[in-house]
Chains A and B, each alone.
Chain A
């Protein structure tokens, strides 16, 4: 195998990593921090992808002059729509099911089925794709023989920016402080004066919004269909559990490792064999480190 091929395979792994990482960061917040198993997280990602698609359609019809901005606007639209949907979901459903994980799982699974049907009705059963903005077409050649598609370079940068943003939000902002206090000791956070119900709603909404951003990024490397969310939800859960459910760094590292493994194993094996091999490795790893690669003990 040539060095070029290996490098480009590593780069493919990197783009898979970006999708997994974006999706898993949202999931790490919803599942890791709040303990909510949201089976509709994949559909929220698909919703973000459809919103990006919708934005590009609107731009191409009414604002063709500034088509280049369509994708950037699409990311913001995807975040806001999915976050708003998350807020609604938390208020009408999730908050009534806290401490009932099985009910939450079933209810959100129902939501995911409903959303898939809605996508099918509204956008049709056929996959849609978002045209790559002209400034993201072409490739970057850091060395001869190695061409890195600009669109993928861009989503890697986007992932790093989102990770940095989430870090600043959680560890440097007032909301982050509220969220971390509630996660460490809910009753005490309330007795210290923090409105824990509102913190839950905001936390959940932010996690859902990040799924939307993951969907935006996904449109750069794949088309979007009603079942798109299903393809990634299991991987995203594996990433979060493997990384250690309470650790964002763990989530990031684990997304990186799983993205790379998937891409490297796909060379000798088929895609589904690669998945099975990863699952096996993850199970072995979790046997030795049951709470994930990076785990901290958090009192609840």
Chain B
């Protein structure tokens, strides 16, 4: 359904991603795992065209996304939640959600958003910048969901968030996936979180995939070996 091939990304002269290749099935959740600086964010940013790729093909349901700008990739079915959330600090919570609806078919925030994240309803008139990290994470997920993505991309959603909220986010994502019919790509360093949500795991090291595992056969010790220093 979603397939990336031959992806090469550079920052100036330095070659960051080397010939990456990945596929994602319908309803599947793929975890991209690796330590700091291994290229997780670079990969996800390249998928949403926040940074340019030197070469590579990105196909969604047979459609080539590589020539498209960010907004057109969102319209084509990608949703993106960046590392650090990147909430618009001076927009209200409601406006932050609405900013994700430019390509959506309707212009009213769908009810399931507030059912999943009740705190966003309570805080809808507050400025996004005044929310706590966990609340901002929920807001960023809501902003991406309202564009009705086929593939939702999450970059380190647990970073800087307390364990109880992490559990809650994992639970919400599992429910949403079932109800809203999208696939998920999530980058992480925290294995416990991805074990809660992912079907398949790819380990990235210095811009290359070095290990792959499916949920049923995960060797937790081996994974931890890749994630700890």
Contacts and interface: CB of A to CB of B under 8 A. Distances in A.
Interface string B136-180: 000000011001000000000000000000000000000000000
In this complex, which of A180, A188, A192, A197 has the most chain B Cβ atoms within 10 angstroms of its Cβ?
Answer: A192
A184 B88 contact: yes
Given A193-B71, A193-B74, A193-B103, A188 B90 contact: no
A192 B95 contact: no
B78 to A, nearest CB: 9
B91 A180 contact: yes
By DSSP majority rule, is chain B's interface helix, strand, loop, or mixed?
loop
B89 A191 contact: no
Contacts of A189: 88, 99
Contacts, number: 70
Given A192-B74, A193-B71, A184 B90 contact: yes
B98 interface: yes
B209 interface: no
B86 A185 contact: yes
Given A191-B82, A193-B74, A195-B71, 20 more contacts: A174-B107, A177-B95, A180-B95, A181-B99, A184-B88, A188-B86, A188-B88, A190-B49, A190-B69, A191-B74, A192-B143, A192-B147, A193-B75, A193-B102, A193-B147, A194-B99, A194-B102, A195-B72, A195-B102, A196-B70
Given A188-B82, A193-B71, A178 B102 contact: yes
Chain B interface extent, by class:
20 to 34
A298 B71 CA distance: 22
Contact of A184 (B74, B91, B103, B147): B91
B90 A191 contact: no
A187 interface: yes
Contact of A191 (B50, B95, B101, B107): B50
A181 B107 CA distance: 16
A298 B99 CA distance: 17
A238 B169 CA distance: 49
B50 A177 contact: no
Contacts of B34: none
A143 B103 CA distance: 57
Contacts of A196: 70-71
B134 interface: no
B160 to A, nearest CB: 18
Contacts of B95: 177, 180-181
B184 interface: no
B75 A177 contact: no
A274 to B, nearest CB: 37
A99 interface: no
Interface string A167-187: 000000010011011001101
A181 B71 contact: no
Contacts of A178: 99, 102
A188 B71 CA distance: 10
A218 B67 CA distance: 47
B201 interface: no
Interface string A287-300: 00000000010110
A184 B89 contact: yes
Interface of B: 48-50, 69-72, 74-75, 80, 82, 86, 88-91, 95, 98-103, 107, 143-144, 147
Given A181-B99, A191-B74, A192-B144, A298 B90 contact: yes
Contacts of B86: 185, 188
5 contacts: A190-B49, A191-B48, A191-B50, A191-B80, A195-B72
A217 B184 CA distance: 56
Contacts of A174: 107
B90 A296 contact: yes
A291 to B, nearest CB: 15
Given A190-B69, A193-B75, A195-B71, A299 B50 contact: no
Contacts of B49: 190-191
A177 B103 contact: no
A299 B90 CA distance: 9
Query: Nearest 4 pairs between A and B by C-beta?
Result: A190-B70, A193-B74, A188-B86, A181-B99
A192 B100 contact: yes
A129 to B, nearest CB: 43
Contact of A193 (B50, B89, B100): B100
Contact of B89 (A177, A187, A190, A299): A299
Contacts of A195: 69, 71-72, 102
Contacts of B103: 193
Interface in A1-49: none
